Amino acid sequence: MTTPAKARAARRRHMQQRQTVIFGALILAMLLVGLGAGAVWVGVLPSPVNVAINAPEPTATTDAGPCPPADATYVPLTEVSASVLNGTSTSGLASEVGNELGERGIAVSRTANAPSQFAGTAQITSGQDGLAAAFTTAVLIPDAAIVVDDRADQTIDIVLGASYDSLRPADEVDVDPEVEIPVPQGCTPLSTAEPTSESDSSEE
């Protein structure tokens, strides 16, 4: 016959075995869940939940800027005279880019802070006589916008914006003075372009 002590010992062993099986199964399940979550995180497995995230729509821009003068060709970079203005909160950006433009041949007369910050990549401002220089410089700065003001000379102002990243690599720049400047689609003819007044602040 089984003694009470042996019966209790058998029950304890049975309970311990059940606990071992239960805890082992729980730990294994947690490991599997963790491995699955990690695989989804790194993209090995697709996410079981596909929730569309509403991203803000990009602002449509219909203003392509002024058209270049009729039959205008690119200007040699050594004949471009520019001021470089910092329209960002990044200290020293105008000086840095001014040095880079100088290495490309552009005569940078000065660097300064812009009177206000600019959200775009860059804005190149010129008078009507300096539009060819503005379009030439725009080849160096991807997505630069061109604006016409009422200055009478051929100098340009370059305002660097928050979206500015870097100049286009030199081996990708083609500003042959013998090549006619292409007319951007949707640009405003020079005769109807509205001149603007630009001012700048202390030197940076």
* Reported pTM: 0.65
| Coil/strand/helix, residue 146 | strand
Confidence class for position 199, pLDDT limits 50, 70, 90: very low
11 and 107: one domain? no
40 and 132: one domain? no
Using one digit for the tens of pLDDT, what is the confidence trace for 22-81?
A: 888 888 888 888 777 766 565 555 555 444 434 333 333 446 799 999 999 999 999 999
107 and 10: one domain? no
When computed from its CA atoms, the radius of gyration of the chain, rounded to whole angstroms, is 33
> Is 12 part of a structural domain of the chain?
yes
9 and 85: one domain? no
φ/ψ (deg, to 5) at 110: -170, 165
Residue scoring higher pLDDT (102 or 41): 102
39 and 83: one domain? no
> What total of structural domains would you count in the chain?
2
> Is 57 part of a structural domain of the chain?
no
Instruction: Say how far apart CA 79 and CA 188 lie, in whole Å.
Output: 25
Task: Give the domain range for residue 94.
Answer: 77-192
Helices and strands counted in the chain (H then E): 3, 5
pLDDT at 198 over 60: no
Tell me the pLDDT of the chain averaged across its residues. 83
Cross-sheet strand order for the sheet of 156-160: 107-113, 81-86, 156-160, 122-126, 145-148
Instruction: Say how far apart CA 110 and CA 57 lie, in whole Å.
Output: 37
21 and 87: one domain? no
Non-local CB neighbours of 106 within 8 Å, separated by 6+ positions: 77, 78, 80, 81, 82, 137
> Is 202 part of a structural domain of the chain?
no
> Is 127 part of a structural domain of the chain?
yes
pLDDT > 90: percent of the chain = 60
Using one digit for the tens of pLDDT, what is the confidence trace for 175-195?
A: 999 999 999 999 999 765 555
Please provide the distance, in angstroms rounded to a whole number, between the alpha carbons at the two ends of the chain. Answer: 100
Give exposure, 5-14, as e/b (b: 16+ Cβ within 10 Å).
Answer: eeeeeeeeee
pLDDT at 124 over 60: yes
